[in-house]
Amino acid sequence: TQLLEQSPQFLSIQEGENLTVYCNSSSVFSSLQWYRQEPGEGPVLLVTVVTGGEVKKLKRLTFQFGDARKDSSLHITAAQPGDTGLYLCAGPNFGNEKLTFGTGTRLTIIP
């Protein structure tokens, strides 16, 4: 099973600040998904990145897939309390395509 390590594990910042969280692996993934899980809810897909070097923007969220397709980052500009949640990256295992999930980054935005 290919492993996905996310960092930091926990992040607490003030509203209005910028932040970046990371998803890293020693393995190549054909694609990576980012999910956000709000307290008391299930994860919801934010974006899928497919091409090495790809950058996707979702309002204040910018997702980047590494050139070698082994890592990805999520940058949030001017964080809002509504961004609070657990951010999970996930990618299909080579061979069986079952999704492997990362360890998650728990983000708290302080008003």
Partner 1 sequence: ETGVTQTPRHLVMGMTNKKSLKCEQHLGHNAMYWYKQSAKKPLELMFVYSLEERVENNSVPSRFSPECPNSSHLFLHLHTLQPEDSALYLCASSPFSDLMNTGELFFGEGSRLTVL
Q: Is 85 in the site for partner 1 (CB under 8 A)?
A: no
Dihedral sign, Cα of residue 63, residue 8, residue 110, residue 17: negative
CA neighbor of 87 nearest in space, from 28, 30, 19, 26: 19
22 near partner 1 (CB under 8 A): no
Near partner 1 by CB under 8 A, which window of 19-27, 65-73, 76-84, 93-101?
93-101
Size of the site for partner 1 (CB under 8 A): 21
Residue 67 C-beta: closest distance to partner 1, Å: 24
3-state class (DSSP) for residue 107: strand
**76 in Cβ contact with 82 (< 8 Å):** no
Binding site for partner 1 (CB under 8 A): 4, 33, 40-45, 48, 88, 90, 92, 96-104
